[in-house]
Amino acid sequence: MENLFRVADHEDFFSRRCIWVNGPVIVGAGPSGLATAACLREQGVPFVVLDREECIASLWQKRTYDRLKLNLPKQFCQLPKLPFPDDFPEYPTKKQFIEYLESYAKHFEINPRLNECVQSARYDETSCSWRVMTVSTSGSTRSEVEYLCRWLVVATGENADVGCGYGYSGTEISLDLCNHNASPSMVVRSTVHFLPREIFGKSTFELAVMLMRWLPIWLVDKLLLLLAWILLGNIQKYGLKRPSMGPLQIKNTVEKTLVLDIGTLKKIRSGDIKVVPGIKRFSRGQVELVNGETLDIDAVVLATGYRSNVPSWLQEGEFFSKNGFPKAPFPNGWKGNAGLYAVGFKERTLWCIL
């Protein structure tokens, strides 16, 4: 630890400490940040991991519902250098995944600097280093720290502000409500690819990965949609309209993911889950839809997803777009200029449909 960084003994007007890091600064202690840290640890490269929350993988620990499971088989979700325990099921639960992440951090001796929120990060041409400013999110005093480093790894993913859309969360929460004798209505405002989680006993994701070794993406998309039509039938008559672009192609080009069905479609067919168009306005105990229909409601669940918060703190306009994603599509969206790297931005990566 003594070789990790050097601390300047001076304090400026804002009681700011300056820390020189002899390796990368990793912003985000989620799965991507932990995986990056583990790989650096294996190579003997020092690093500092920063996170604004008081725990690792805060999105999983604090902002997910209890019945959540991984949508992909565990072999596609494990982090580098350490597989899931053999006794874990094929689709680990939220609790099991958190246990795995905590054991992962312990195994590789990853000790993030928690409760440090990154306020800004900019590249200093004079010193040829990144200047990462943080502020403490715990305690009564506002202590600031500035980290100086040659390499900056953005591993925050898309966990920030509430956005719009429907996907895994909306479909799974609707299924949960239905299974507990509620009568949910699921708002679907846009097109989406709805695929079976498994095709003839094999994971859809595993099948897609296997096919892409030999076939172009457009052809794999056509095969997946054909198999989905055979297994699921015509889902458009239930209000689930498909995009014109294929599921893998749309993920790689316009940052839109697909949904793997775990039983929701069966409830939609039976009428237990009602699919409705967009919402025009809310009123007490009611919601008016864009088609003029009015629904009586008891509660509203906002399963609208997240947007990247990178533009709010990273002072850089070449590598990241205004939406907070790497501009370059897969597989080129991982490295920028001046030692800037990005990991965990699944909307720009074909291989992480998690």
Residue 12 lies in a domain: no
Extract the residue ranges of the chain whose pLDDT is less than 50: 1-2, 5, 7-14, 159-165, 348-354
Residues 215 and 266 in one domain: yes
Quick one: pLDDT at residue 319?
Answer: 84
Number of domains in the chain: 2
Residue 8 lies in a domain: no
Between CA 97 and CA 126 the distance in angstroms is 43
Are the beta carbons of 142 and 135 closer than 8 angstroms?
yes
18: tokens are 């300056």
Q: In sequence order, which residues have a C-beta less than 8 Å from that of residue 293 and are 6 or more positions away?
A: 276
Residues 125 and 169 in one domain: no
Residues 35 and 135 in one domain: yes
Residue 7 lies in a domain: no
Quick one: pLDDT at residue 128?
Answer: 93
Residues 128 and 30 in one domain: yes
Residues 225 and 252 in one domain: yes
Are the beta carbons of 116 and 50 closer than 8 angstroms?
yes
- The parent domain of residue 281 ranges over 165-296
Quick one: pLDDT at residue 55?
Answer: 95
CA atoms lying within 13 Å on the CB side of residue 287: 16
